[in-house]
Chains A and B, each alone.
Chain A
Amino acid sequence: DTEVTQTPKHLVMGMTNKKSLKCEQHMGHRAMYWYKQKAKKPPELMFVYSYEKLSINESVPSRFSPECPNSSLLNLHLHALQPEDSALYLCASSPGGLAGQETQYFGPGTRLLVL
């Protein structure tokens, strides 16, 4: 199984809502990532979890809160978002042992619209 799954596929939320994005992989990977991708732009790294510990937070606003309950699951909790946070949110995973040379496996993304 070389698949990363993400739910939901689409999400519309108001600026006062609280919602969560979910990501799951069953490849035994120990590194998991959240990226944000705006239209016609490359993915921007938000967070990296390595062996269930947050290893990188790219100065992301606190209205985004990541969580890694176990080695297969990654959540992104959203609260009080702004319209400019509307984007495609991509989850990815990689084996976790070879750092820079690893292939990252991406999910299909959650397309988020903040009204």
Chain B
Amino acid sequence: AQSVTQLDSQVPVFEEAPVELRCNYSSSVSVYLFWYVQYPNQGLQLLLKYLSGSTLVESINGFEAEFNKSQTSFHLRKPSVHISDTAEYFCAVSNYGGSQGNLIFGKGTKLSVKP
């Protein structure tokens, strides 16, 4: 069975500062990794995902995440955050050959960007 650990429940940062949201996973098989974002009073939307190939994946709004198999991590980073990045961020994992219901979410990290 897989599991996901998001080490920080809350991350406060100032606008234009860099940020890293940490995610570690546990699985006995190969995995796919996802970051979803949930803005206040909205559903979740995909930020980026790692399926295979290059271990560095990027989103259209400046976030990136790097798959590190040896450290079983998929940390999310942004070099300069904006007020509009304030949201809850969920790391999620599913395994190769898994079913549609196989997506396991971490507990979430609330990113608060202050002016």
Which residues from chain A sit less than 8 Å from chain B, CB to CB?
4, 31, 33, 40-43, 45, 48, 50, 55-56, 58, 90, 92, 94, 96, 99-109
Residue contact B98 to A100, C-beta cutoff 8 Å: yes
Tell me how many residues of B have a C-beta within 8 Å of chain A. Answer: 27
B99 touches which of A48, A90, A106, A109 (Cβ 8 Å): A48
Which of chain B's residues 99-114 have a Cβ closer than 8 Å to chain A?
A: 99-103, 105-108, 110
In the complex, the answer to whether A100 meets B99 with C-beta atoms within 8 Å is: yes
Name which of A42, A55, A103 has the most chain B CB atoms within 10 A of its CB: A42
- Give A106's nearest chain B residue, CB to CB: B43
A14 to chain B, nearest CB (A): 24
| A42 and B100 contacting across the interface, CB-CB below 8 Å | no
CB distance from A99 to the nearest CB of B (A): 6
Can you list the 6 inter-chain pairs with the closest CB atoms, starting with the nearest?
A106-B43, A100-B98, A42-B105, A100-B94, A56-B101, A48-B101
Chain B residues engaging chain A, CB cutoff 8 angstroms: 32, 34, 36, 41-46, 49, 51, 90, 94-103, 105-108, 110
- Residue in A31, A56, A102, A107 with the greatest tally of chain B CB atoms within 10 Å: A102
Complex Cα gap A90–B42 (Å): 10
Contact check, A50 vs B105: say whether CB atoms are below 8 A apart: no
B96 touching A109, Cβ below 8 Å:
no
- Tell me the nearest residue of chain A to B30, going by C-beta: A100
Which residue of B43, B100, B110 is within 8 Å of A107 (Cβ)? B43
A residues in contact with B103, CB < 8 Å: 45, 100, 104
Specify the chain A residue showing the minimal Cβ separation from B43. Answer: A106
Task: A99-B97, A100-B98, A100-B100 are known; give 7 further A-B pairs, CB within 8 A.
Answer: A41-B107, A41-B108, A48-B101, A96-B100, A106-B43, A106-B45, A109-B43
A4 contacts B100, C-beta separation under 8 Å: no
- Are A48 and B108 CB-contacts (below 8 A) given A100-B95, A103-B49? no
The answer to whether B101 and A58 have CB atoms under 8 Å apart is yes
Nearest CB on A from B70, distance (A): 22
Query: Do B97 and A100 touch (CB < 8 A)?
Result: yes
Alpha-carbon distance A109/B43, docked complex (angstroms): 6
